[in-house]
Structure 1
């Protein structure tokens, strides 16, 4: 165990006796407030193993044992708390019958002392959150390939999210993990502590912090609904997580009636088309589910999703429900705009956006709702971004304005009675690029005149290739805007010259100017 590991296990919030929390959130008041789950034995072999562990009076193992009430009886259980961490917090609470050759702690935190037979390994499994996934997991991690069972599902060298209702089998020992369900205010406080734990201990700077599982959690098939992300005219986008592997996704629920049939069918058509595309800069839908939905019970359940004025008697019955599942990441360009990330990294992210837009246009598609919230961050190093949410996408070259998109990112030609094409995406990319360069968030529509002149002057003052690209895309005349492909090529050339300068082939001071010069020659000659 390293000094760093020891520090984490003893003091991840500053003190094991008086944990610190942010000043804006009250402390969890008592040790029990930090408890988030209890692993309760449900058969005699498991009960006997915990009782034998308790009788050992081992200081390390005893700190995880507590008494609880289960089935109207008092019983010993393993208590999991953010206050009392396992020996190695990064890998979680290890459970098994232990090995004497691994020291006083026997290589586990939750000791099943004397567990009979050969079905329980010394280090049988782990319990922990997982970086990049959502939920609390049972992780089968023993080298001997001993099975873990979750609700009848046997697995080895794999992991499963532990749902609210669960039966866990480790060899002949049976358990159920009972989550601690709190009142809303206490749950909010616990979520702050959990986020700090994931950031400090798991080194996950953008963790998926979900509400504690509850019995009434809603589901779309194998996906557990966590919370609504946004609400539109025809349905709602939810954050969902896969019940087995904790994979997060965005599930857009579209409710089709005879009044919105054309719009819903168009969006489903676009989703189907984009789902067949593969590109590292596109968050393509990976599953589309259709279900007839005509009963009065269904209408009662979902009537408030369409709008506050929706009347099923006047607007007609819901004929179909579509669920469009797409990748979901926990950070968007909003995170970059408000961060201290240097301009060089922001430029790389902008290039990834341009590459995704250029690919989409090569397929004959226009996004029409490019904005920071629709650009997901897959990785900060190397910079990787994905364009998402294709609800406004179109495959037409000339489109009569139909109120798509988000106002601050709308191009001048997106007005009643006018037609527009792919160039609206270039304008929106330029606004996003301006926000990345300046850190300023655009709140209103950018109109030709003093406001646009201010944007152009600000970009001129930046004097970079990215700023020049944004200025040339931020042209009131859609035919005069440079395309995403042209801008992406200019930045690729800039990166290539930068790389050469780092190798000593050209000075860094010249790289930007030479890239810009070559870019203008390429464009205008």
Structure 2
């Protein structure tokens, strides 16, 4: 377990300040870059928490992916990385503590113009990732942060995977409510799994509820596999027809008919 005291870094350029949150592998702190007097976030990952090859792969992939993708206004910026025998530290752009998940949990559905703005920023980030041959594979509200200007920032690239022309991916990764059906079925898939997940987030922003749900993981997966996308009148009465049409194209069970992130971006001309 982590000590209740703030640990020190072996890199004297940075000073750790207060704890911001804890995850599966470590703890995030606010930190100060001494020379510039700028505040960042430091993600400390304790190596003893990495229990298998998948965990270790996540640790290797995330800093490489973030460095490869930077800079982009809607992707969390990595600033520095260093390690010692026990800990790997990622120094990251400092964001607000409330994620999109927190905002939706507290506030419920968003007005369509607000949801459209966030959706556009998410798709801008995804289109950038996909153009460079990288799929995120774990798009969910918890991984969508906000900077001080309320710009959306895509984070947590531990499950990311590179792909290329004609090269598919495999492996069950993602989060139940947001994972694409082809992932659940154990099939090979492409970067459009991110488009499905983003569509589910857009639906949730507009309605306050996910399109597919259940009382257990297996029930959620069954609902995702059925992919019976509905727009209840009582919930979607104020949502525009173009927005619902976009959702149908993003949350499409057949990945060959599902639009790309770049194609989805073109739909925002009506805003």
How high is the TM-score relative to the length of structure 1? 0.42
Q: Structure 2 unaligned runs (5+)?
A: 215-219
Write out aligned runs for 1:96-245 (5 A): 216-220=5-9, 221=11, 222-224=14-16, 226-227=18-19, 229-232=21-24, 235-242=25-32, 244=34, 245=37
Alignment partner of 1:473 out of 246, 250, 265: 250
Q: Report Cα offsets for 1:442-500 as digits up to 9, x if no partner.
A: 75534243x63335887698334333212211011111111111111110x223xxxxx
What SS class does the counterpart of residue 147 from structure 2 fall into?
strand
2:217 alignment partner in structure 1: none
Structure 1, unmatched stretches of 5+, are: 1-214, 294-320, 496-525
Find the counterpart in structure 1 of residue 177 from structure 2: 408
SS at match of 2:28: strand
Residues 361-400 of structure 1: pairs in structure 2 closer than 5 A: 361-378=130-147, 384-396=151-163, 397-400=167-170
Output the CA distance in 1 between the equivalents of 2:101 and 2:43.
Answer: 21
1:404 is displaced (CA, Å) by: 2.0
Shift in Å, 1:239: 3.0
| The one of 253, 260, 270 aligned to 2:52 | 260
Report the counterpart of residue 342 of structure 1 in structure 2: 111
* CA 1:417–1:474: 2 relative to 1, 3 Å: closer
- 2:196–2:252 CA contact under 8 A, matched in 1: yes
Residue 274 of structure 1 pairs with residue 63 of structure 2: no
Residue 326 of structure 1: CA displacement?
2.2
Which of 78, 88, 111 aligns to 1:285? It is 78
Contact 2:61-2:160 within 8 A present in 1 as well: no
Q: CA deviation at 1:250?
A: 4.6
Residue number among 469, 488, 502 corresponding to 2:265 in the alignment = 488
Q: Is 1:323 aligned to 2:89, yes or no?
A: yes
**Structure showing greater Rg:** 1
Match of 1:55 in 2: none
Alignment check: 8 A CA contact 1:379 1:385 kept = no
* Change in CA separation of 1:415 and 1:270 when aligned onto 2, cut-off 3 Å: same
Give secondary structure in 1 for the equivalent of 2:228: helix
CA distance in 2 between counterparts of 1:351 and 1:258 reads 35
Q: Is the 8 A contact 1:272 1:288 kept in 2?
A: no
Q: Is the alpha carbon distance of 1:460 and 1:250 closer, same or farther for their aligned partners in structure 2, counting shifts above 3 Å?
A: farther
Name the CA shift for 1:452/1:265 in 2 (closer, same or farther; >3 Å). same
In 1, Cα distance between equivalents of 2:160 and 2:153: 15
**RCO comparison, higher one (Cα < 8 Å, 6+):** 2
Q: Secondary structure at the match of 1:292?
A: coil
CA contact (8 A) 2:246 2:264 kept: yes
3-state SS, counterpart of residue 182 of structure 2? coil
CA distance in 1, matches of 2:7, 2:46: 17
Please state whether the residue corresponding to 1:353 is helix, strand or coil.
helix
Give the superposition deviation at 1:280. Answer: 0.6
How many equivalent residue pairs?
247
The alignment partner of 2:16 has SS state of: strand
